[in-house]
Chain A
Amino acid sequence: MENSLLFKPGHTACAGCGQAIAAKIVIEAAGPDTIVVNNTGCLEVFTAKFPETAWGVPWIHSLFENAAAVASGVEAALKYLGKKESVNVIAQAGDGGTADIGLQALSGMLERGHDILYVCYDNEAYMNCLSTSSLILTKDGLKKITEVKVGDEVYVFDQKTHQLVIKKCSGVFDNGRKEVFELKTLHHTIKATANHPFLVLQRNGRGRQNALVWKALEDVGAGDRVVTLKSLNGGKPFKFPQVEKVERGDFKVNKINEINLPGESSVELMKYLGIFVGDGWRRSNRGEIGFALPQGKKAREVLVDLHQRIFASKVSMHKDYVYINSINLAKFIDTLGLGQGAKNKTVPGWVFTLPQDQREAFVEGMMLADGYDCRGSKRYVSANPALLQRLRLLTQTLNYRVGKIHMQVKKKGTLCVSRELLADSRYGYICFSKKKEAQIEKYPSQYRYRDFLIDNKFFQTEEVISIESKGIEPTLDLRVEDEHNFIADGIVVHNTGVQRSGLTPFSTSTSTSPVGKCSAGNVRPKKPMPDIAAAHGIPYVATATVAFIPDLQRKVKKALSIKGPKYLQIHVPCPLGWRYETEQTLQVAKLAVETGLYPIIEYENGVLIPRKITPKPVEEYLKSQGRFKHLLADPEEIRKIQAVADNNIQKYNLKVEEQVQQKITQ
C-alpha cells in the first residue's frame, strides 16, 4: 500500500485484508476534515493499539455496538460549535457491530436524521487452537504452551523474508476441551484442533512461483507439505546464575574439594552435561555427583578428561562408576534444571537458546552415555518418553534428519546388565543423522521445484504423512504480534479464530456454525442490511466492494455530498476467515459480485440503481474459498445457493438486458 497521511502504514492487519484496503479508500475519499467513530472490531484493533495509531484524522473508539450513537454525539457537538458544515462524520463497524449488536444504535441514528455516513465493512463473520501438550519455541528456550505468558518473546516465521524472527506473544487463550487431531510429518508431530491454520506449500504449476498459504488443519491432507523448523542458528552461551560457593573454613564442611565453577556455557561443558543427563546422578545433601560409567566405556575417559579441564578438580574412581565429592559442584548442577533420576531427567529449555556447536555438543554427550551408532545413523535409548520428545526437538534445531519415537517393552525376566528384570519395562529410542547438503545446483528441479525453501537456513517444508483424531483434549492458543504465527512442536502454525454473524451468508462454515453431519453450516441467509437501512427512508444507501475501487471512491464522495444519514456496506474478503490465498482478495470479491451473491446497488432517495452483471454460476465463487469447500460435492446445497443468487438478480434487477448484451458481444 502506498503511503497515506490519513491511514498510515504500519498497522497490523493480515496480508490481503480486504477491510484494511477499503478503510484506506474510504478515509482518503472523505479527506482530512473528517472525524471517524469506530466500533470495536478487527479494524479498531489493527489500527489503534496503544501507543500507536494508523489514523491521521481525529478518531475515536468506544465500544462494540455504539459507534452510531457516539457519532450522533459528535455530530450534535459539531452542530453546537457551528462546525458541522465543514466536517464529515463517519461511523464505521464490521458486520457484527452493524447488523447484530449495533443494529439498535444504527437504527436510532438513521431515524433521527443525523448527518453521518455509516460504513459497514462486511466480511461476513466474526473473525483456533493447539493441544496443551505442545512445546513452543521461545527466546528463553523451549516452553510448554501452558507456560507461555503474554510478553514472552517467541520465534516466528517472517512471511515476507522467510526468515526466523522474534516477536512478542500478545495473548494466551484457553479454548476449552475440543477434539484434537495429530498431524505427522517424517520428523514432526503436533496435536491441534481441526480449524487451526498451518502454513502449507502451494505449487502453482510449471514455470510459476510456488507460494505458502495458511490452511486449516481440516483442509490439510496427507501429501501436502507444511513448513517446519529446520535449524536454529544464532543463540548465545547461557550465563549461569551465581552459585553461592561454600568456602574452606565454613562450619558445614570439614573437607572441601576445590573446584572452579564456569560462569557460562561452553562446548566442553555442554558435552559434560549431556553425559550427566544420560548417566549422571547427584546427591545434593552429600555433595556428590556420580556417573554410572564402568571401566572400559569410552565415555568414562571423555568424562574424566572433561571434568579435569572444566572444573580442575579430583575425580574418584570405582570399577563400575566415577564420582566427584563436591558440595559446590552439586549445588551448581542443581541450578541447571537437568532433572534427577532416570525418569525425570530432561533437556532444559535454556539449552535451546545456545549456539549450534554447544547444542551439538550436548547431543554428543547424551549419545556418549546412552546412544550407539546403527546403520549410519545415531540411536538414543531412554526409558523416559518426555526426555526423548525434548531431545527430538533439540535435534530438529540442528538440521538433523530425525525419526519418530519408537516405544518398546522389555519383558519381565530379560537380562539387563547382569540381573533379570522384575517387571515389564518400557523404553524407547529415536534415530537421527546429520542431513546431507542438498545438491541444488546439480539437481535443481528435484529440489527447488519440490521445495522452494530448500536454501532457507531456518525453515523447510515437510510432507504430511498422516492426520488422525486423538480424542478430546484441553486446548490453548497464543496470539503473536505482527506475524500472527509461532513455532509449536517444530511446526509453523498461525494463531487464532471466525464466528457467525448476522451477515454470514447461507451455508457458510464458521466456528460457531460449523459443518457437521446434520448441518451444512450457517442455516440462515444474510440479513438484508441495505434494505433495512433504506426502509428508514434515508437519502442514500449503497453497497460496494473492494473489487471495484473507483466505484467505492465515487460512492463515498457522493454519500458525503448528501445531507442526512447515509449507509454504505462494503464487501471486504478476509483471507484467514474465508480461507483463500492472500493475493486473491480482489478476485474473490469480484466473483461475489459477478455471481449475483453480492449485489452492488444504490438507493438514491429510495430509487434503486443496480450495477448490472452477466451472471456466472455460483460454483465459481464457492470454489474460490475454503469456507464453502464442504458444499462443492453437494449439488443440492449448490442449487440452494444458486437460488439465493437468482433471487438477488431478480430482486435487484441485476442482469444485463438482452439488447445491451448483444451490443457487448458485437
Chain B
Amino acid sequence: MKELLEGSRAVAEIVKLCKPGVISAYPITPQTHIVEELATMVNNGELSAQFVNVESEHSAASLVLGGVATGVRSYTATSSQGLLYMGEVIFNIAGMRLPLVLTCANRAVSAPINIWNDQQDSLSLRDAGWVQLYAENLQEVADFHLMAYRIAEDKSIMLPVMVCMDGFILTHGMEPLDVPEQGQVDKFLPAYKALYKLDPAEPVSMGLLADPDYYLETRFALQETLKDVLKLLPKVSAEFKSVFNRDYKDCLIEEYMVKDAEKVIVAMGSVCGTVKEVVDELRKKGKKVGLLKVISYRPFPYQRIYDSLKDVAKVGILDKAVSLGAYPPLAAEIKGAFCGKKKSPKVISSFVAGLGGRDITPETVKEVFLKLNQKEVNNEFIDLKPELLKESYGE
C-alpha cells in the first residue's frame, strides 16, 4: 500500500522498522526532520530505543560507535558540516569494523555557508572505508536503508554504510511510496547478532594500537572487503526483490535507455529523475540518449560501468560536487574505468552543476547533451552567471 510521505518521515518510518536500539544525533538542516520524527516515535513508545540528544555530531558518531560496539544495532543521521565534524569518527568506525548505518542528507559545505543541496559532504569522505549508496527517490531511500543494514551486518563485511539522499529535494519532498510491513522487514533483516562486542561475559579489547608491523594489513583487509561488497550487493538486491517485489537489479548502477544510446549522461542521486524525463523527451524526438545512474559510489563498480558504456560514443558526467584542483569525484572514477582498456567512448566530458542548491532543470540537462556534440571538456561548470564573476573588490 502506498503512502504519501515527506522524505524525512519516510526515513524515520523505515529506520523504525529496522529496530535500532541506540539512536543519537545532533540537529542540522536538512537532516533535522529525520531525528525529530524518530525522537517522537521513541517518546510515544512506537519505537523501543535509547534516543540520546548529544552536544555535537562528533559525540553523536562516537555514541553510536559505542552502541554498535556493545552489540546493539545503532543509527545516526547528519549533513554537511555535521558529517565533516564527524569525519574523524567516520574513519574510526570503518577501521574498527563496526556495522553502523548513517543517513547523510546531502548539503553543500561552508564557506560560504549554504544549507542547500549538493553532494560535496559525503563525497569528501569517500576514502573513509564506508559503503556509500546514492538514492534517486524516496522509495530508493527507504529500500536502500534496509539493504544497508543487511550489507553492513553481513558477517563477511562488517562495515558501516552511508545512505546518501539529496537534502531538501528528497528530505523535504513528498512522494507516494510503499512502506513495507514489519513482518516483511523482519524476514529480510533479522535481529543483529554481533561477531564481537563489549560484554563482561567474554571480555575483548577493541581499538588497539597497530604499529607498522600490522597497520598496512588492516587497510588491505578493508580494501578487499569493499571489493566483496560489489559481489554481495547483487545477491542482497535479489533477495530484496523476492521479499518486497521491487527490482534494483545488481544495485550497483541503473541503466536507463543505455543499450543503443549514442550519448549517455552519468549522474548520482535525485538529478537522475530529471535526466530520465529529458531522455524520454529526446527519445520521442528520435535522439539516441540514455542515463547511467551510479548507486554504489563506494565500492565503485568499475567493471559494470565499463561493460555498460564501452560501446557508447559520447558520455557526459554530471557531478554535484567538485574535487577542487582535479577532476570532479564521479568523473574521475568514470574516466578511470576506461583507463588502459580496449574500448572507450570517444568523448568523456565532465560537468559540474547544481552546487549549493542551484537548480538543475531539464534545460540544464539538455544543454549537457548538446555539449556532448563538441569536443571533450573537463570540469565545465554549467549555468554559471557571468555577471557574478566580474571582480568587484579593490583596485
Contact = CB atoms under 8 A, between A and B. Distances in A.
Interface of A: 32-35, 37, 44-45, 48-51, 53, 55-63, 65-66, 68-81, 87, 104-105, 107-108, 111-112, 150-151, 170
B84 to A, nearest CB: 15
A76 B206 contact: no
Nearest to A87: B200
A76 B66 CA distance: 9
Contact of B22 (A49, A51, A76, A108): A76
A546 B169 CA distance: 58
Contacts of A70: 62-63, 65-66, 69
Interface in B168-222: 197-200, 202-214
Contacts of A78: 70
B203 A73 contact: no
B21 A81 contact: yes
B66 A69 contact: yes
Contacts of A61: 206-208
Contacts of A63: 62, 88-89, 92
A50 B211 contact: yes
B323 interface: no
A69 B199 CA distance: 18
B197 to A, nearest CB: 8
B63 A72 contact: yes
Q: Which of B74, B92, B209 has the largest number of chain A CB atoms within 10 A?
A: B209
Contacts of A79: 50
B234 interface: no
Contacts of B48: 80
Interface in B235-288: none
A418 B234 CA distance: 89
A45 B214 CA distance: 15
A37 B54 CA distance: 18
Contacts of B213: 151
Interface in B30-82: 48-50, 52-56, 58-60, 62-72, 74
A83 to B, nearest CB: 9
Q: Which of B48, B59, B67 has the largest number of chain A CB atoms within 10 A?
A: B59
A76 B59 CA distance: 13
Given A57-B203, A63-B92, A87-B200, A111 B62 contact: no
Closest 3 interchain pairs by CB?
Answer: A73-B66, A69-B62, A108-B55
A60 B55 contact: no
A74 B211 contact: no
B55 A107 contact: yes
A73 B65 contact: yes
A50 B70 contact: no
Nearest to B202: A58
B24 interface: yes
Nearest to A49: B209
A105 B60 CA distance: 10
Interface of B: 21-22, 24, 48-50, 52-56, 58-60, 62-72, 74, 88-89, 92, 96, 197-200, 202-214
A491 B205 CA distance: 38
A34 B206 contact: no
Contacts of A48: 205, 207-209
Nearest to B91: A63
Contact of B59 (A55, A66, A87): A66
Given A61-B208, A151-B213, A77 B200 contact: no
A55 B203 CA distance: 8
Contacts of A44: 209
A70 B69 CA distance: 9
Contact of B70 (A65, A73, A150, A151): A73
A47 to B, nearest CB: 8
Contacts of B21: 76-77, 80-81
Contacts of B24: 72-73, 76
Nearest to A66: B62
Nearest to B209: A49
Given A60-B206, A71-B66, A77 B72 contact: yes
A71 B69 CA distance: 10
B145 to A, nearest CB: 20
B69 A105 contact: no
A383 to B, nearest CB: 41
A50 B206 CA distance: 10
Contact of B54 (A57, A69, A151): A69
15 contacts: A53-B205, A58-B197, A58-B204, A60-B66, A62-B65, A70-B69, A73-B65, A73-B70, A76-B21, A76-B50, A80-B67, A80-B72, A81-B72, A104-B56, A150-B211
Given A34-B200, A53-B205, A73-B66, A62 B96 contact: yes
Nearest to B198: A58
Nearest to A150: B212
A49 B215 CA distance: 11
A260 B292 CA distance: 72
Given A51-B214, A63-B89, A70-B63, A77 B50 contact: yes
Contacts of A68: 59
Contacts of A56: 203
Contacts of B210: 49-50
Contacts of A111: 55
Given A32-B200, A50-B214, A76 B52 contact: yes
Nearest to A72: B63
Contacts of A35: 70, 198, 200
Contacts of B54: 69, 72, 108, 112
